[in-house]
Structure 1
Amino acid sequence: MFIIKTLIELFDDCQLENVIAGLKLNPEKIIYVGLKSAMSQRRQKAIRNFYTKKGIDVEVLFEDIKENDLQDAIDKINSILDNNDDCYFDLTGGSATFHAAVGAVSALRQVRLFRFDVKKGKFVNIVNCEEPLKINSMSMTINQALMLNGTARVYTTLDKRWNITERFKGDVDSIWQVICDNFEDWNSHTNAFNFILSHAVEKEPLFYEYTGLTEDIKISDIIMEELSICGLITDYVKGTDKISFKIKDSGIKDVLNKAGNTLELLCYILLSELKEECPGLIDDIAVGVNVDWDGVIHSEYDTVKDTRNEIDVLVMRKGRPVFISCKNGGMGKETLYELSTAAKHYGGKYASMVLVSTKKPEAKSAYAFFKQRAADMGIRLLDDMHIYTRVGFKNELYKAIK
């Protein structure tokens, strides 16, 4: 059993590999060795802030070496060993040059080498290391993970919109059942519903009346009637050119106003239930996560405009993020590229990707290509989810993130 005084980290492009040993072993000091170009001030700050936010009291130092200079790397490592007590090397990350330098040093000096299996969170002894006295959890919040990767979560007024009570969960289940019965028409209906709400007169709170109905406004009588049976819509009247109805509450209005909201919320609710039912499965979860590309938030009056993405559902599991994209209608290969780009930038190389949908490409050849492309990109497909029971849907999500 051992406690680490000095941890020597071979700096890597992957931030999770840079912090996993510090996170799990809680050393007194961490010395990062790497190229100056790779260890930017921004990345150094992200690592220091990460440890601070995690409440880990550790001294963090950065030592740079010359690019493609094996002897410089060897000299730097020897200097660190000469000037620090009780050193352990983490070989989880780092380039081939760094590993070669450590190998050269270890041939002449007795050094302690180990690495972590990041996916399993398992400590692996390479040489001269016993089992650690204590291995901490790899858990981290969504905000901590985004910060570590040099990005940042952006909060908007919409983040406070969902008040997920038991009654609200039941209403989402009801809307989902309506979608399952009418999934082919749901998107066009929701577009029409949104148009009507944007142009209607609100006669009284949540009671809307719109005049000017045409065939181009494809509001579905069947969907409106099913929503009425569920008590989510009342006083529904549709004439030749006029339509009026009342919505149960403002939360339901927000759900019905965008085609993908119900699927996103259902995934979030089911995953939240899994979090409660399976302790240790999920560390953090959020729906509708707005993220800034470089973590630098500019004022609305600034000439520099932020690049942002919205993640439908984001899950943290043992330090690794799971990016979930929810699609309620048709989709193509661009859907896969959008998900992959966001996951790799915001989550790093250990991010997982899941695409949840109700409709897959109709042509068998098109779907075969789509499925193979998703597999090549490491994206897990959960399609035709409208045919699953609630329990079946939850089980598929469980298997996808486990």
Structure 2
Amino acid sequence: MKTLIELYDPAHPVKNILTALIFKPEVLIFIGLKGSLTDRVQSLVERLLRQKGIEAELRFMETDLKDGNRVVRMLEQITWEHADCVFEISGGPDLLLALVGHFCALRGVPQLYKDVDSQELVWITSEGERREPLVLPKLGISDLLLAYGARLERTDHYYPDLSDAAQEACIGRICQVFLRFLEEWPHVSVWFQYVCRNAAEEDRGYDCLEVSEKRDGRVNMLLRQFKNLDVFYALQKAGAIHDLAIDSRRIRFRFENTDIRRLLTNQGVWLELCTYLSAAQTGGFDDLVMSAVIGWDYENKANYPQNEIDVVLLKGIRALFISCKTSITKRSPYDLYEIKTLCERFGGDMAQAVLITADNCLNTNHSLYIRAREMGIVILDINTIKKGNLGRELLKIAAGRYHFPEQEKTKNG
């Protein structure tokens, strides 16, 4: 294929460039309605294609459907200049699609349709219809964001190095401790923050691994927040701390490493980590990012807002935008509107908003669950997490195979 003609669809910026990424044409022509192919749109399309290694000659042409004859003359001119062209007809304005389809049928110009759901490419030629498997190009989250005019600025929380298998295994075990001691975990983080701050004040440096804390009034007050000290022994068994010794006068232990130390002082990161690790361990996602700070404009950093999204997952061209809320007891629909808005802004209609909570959602805030379903937002709660099904459920959502529990349907009548 030397020349690909793409009918530009403003609602699907990723789909607009998929066929070009698959076939790498020499010439790529975008046809859009008047006003749709702005300078900004052209800049975004070119930047994304170049970023993905497509060096095709680009042309952008606008048309007005009020004059059908003029549209036909434009199509005649294109096909005369590019006798080897193929029209990609997967998207675009309905009337323009009808005109192009009729024109191609009369002139014997080949057409191409991609069915993302069935993973098929459909060729329509004068000889009939031919189908072949559709192999989607590999895209990253940065590619997706750029297609929607945004960019990944940074990751906000401390980001653990999960390329180290031993470290990943240790963090996974700590996640299980977190889930076991959910009610006490805020006190765990406060405790570690306190002893680490003391170490820094004693000029031993924040990265000091050895902790020996005298059980004075402040320390004992913090310890009284725990039912018992089982959480510390559980963390030792998980490999987060070592050489734990507790008596009436002092608590001593040693952190596994500075990475684990930083994570244990961060209360808000653990549900994100559970989600991120569960998704990563499935091996089914093309890209994953945690604590993603996204800028709304890829060019103008100063004058446009930024938002943090807890976890973003990408499989094919379908993204999951995930908000992690340890508790939803007092949560309002605002939390749903926030993740839904960000999902639509940065992923369009191929993206899915997900809320993950460590609460039992049906019992704790059933009205929020009902509202989420009405908005098309999936909520996965502690029942899914503790069964070890979180990663599998996220893959189901990404594949469009997730179904809301029957229990909810019964309650809603």
Instruction: Give CA-to-partner distance per residue, 1:242-271, whole Å, 9 cap, x none.
Output: 988654322112322333422322332333
Aligned to 2:23: 25
User: Residue 389 and residue 360 in structure 1: after superposition, are their counterparts in 2 closer, same or farther (change >3 A)?
Assistant: closer
**Matched residue pairs, number?**
384
CA distance in 2, matches of 1:338, 1:346: 12
Which residue of structure 2 aligns with residue 252 of structure 1?
260
Corresponding residue for 1:6? 3
Letter aligned with residue 94 of structure 1: G
Q: CA deviation at 1:200?
A: 3.5
The alpha carbon displacement at 1:32 in A equals 0.5
Equivalent residue, structure 2, for 1:73: 71
2:269 is equivalent to residue 266 of structure 1: no
Moved more, 338-347 or 156-165: 156-165
Q: Which residue of 2 aligns with 1:283?
A: 286
Q: 1:113-192 residue pairs with structure 2 within 5 A?
A: 113-126=111-124, 128=126, 131=130, 136-155=135-154, 158=157, 161-186=160-185, 188-189=186-187, 192=190
Q: Which residue does 1:354 correspond to in 2?
A: 354
Rate the CA distance shift 1:264–1:195 in 2: closer, same or farther, 3 A: same
Structure 2 stretches of 5 or more lacking a match?
A: 400-413
Residues 1:296 and 2:287 aligned together: no
Contact 2:25 2:56 in 1 (8 A): yes
State which drifts further: 210-219 or 392-401.
210-219
Aligned-residue offset at 1:189 = 2.2
TM-score (norm 2): 0.79
Partner Cα separation in structure 2 for residue 237 and residue 174 of structure 1: 22
Counterparts of 1:223-238 in structure 2, within 5 Å, are 223-233=231-241
Cα gap change, 1:133 to 1:120, in 2 (>3 Å)? closer
Q: Contact 1:114–1:126 at 8 Å: present in 2 too?
A: yes
Distance 1:163 1:7, change over 3 A: closer
Distance of 2:303 and 2:94 partners within structure 1? 38
Report deviation, 1:18.
Answer: 0.7
CA separation of 1:284/1:38 partners in 2, compared to 1, >3 Å: closer, same or farther? same
Distance 1:201 1:219, change over 3 A: farther
> Please, what is the CA RMSD of the aligned residues?
3.5
Q: Which moved more, 1:139-148 or 1:65-74?
A: 65-74
Higher relative contact order (CA 8 A, sep 6+): 1
CA distance in 2, matches of 1:117, 1:219: 57
Normalised TM-score (structure 1): 0.81
Query: In 1, Cα distance between the equivalents of 2:245 and 2:341?
Result: 43
**CA deviation string 1:316-347 (max 9, x = no partner):** 21233222333322244333222222222222
CA-to-aligned-CA distance 1:329-371 (integer Å, 9 cap, x gap): 224433322222222222222113333322144647x41x433
Mapped pair 1:371 → 2:374: no
Partner secondary structure for residue 15 of structure 1: coil
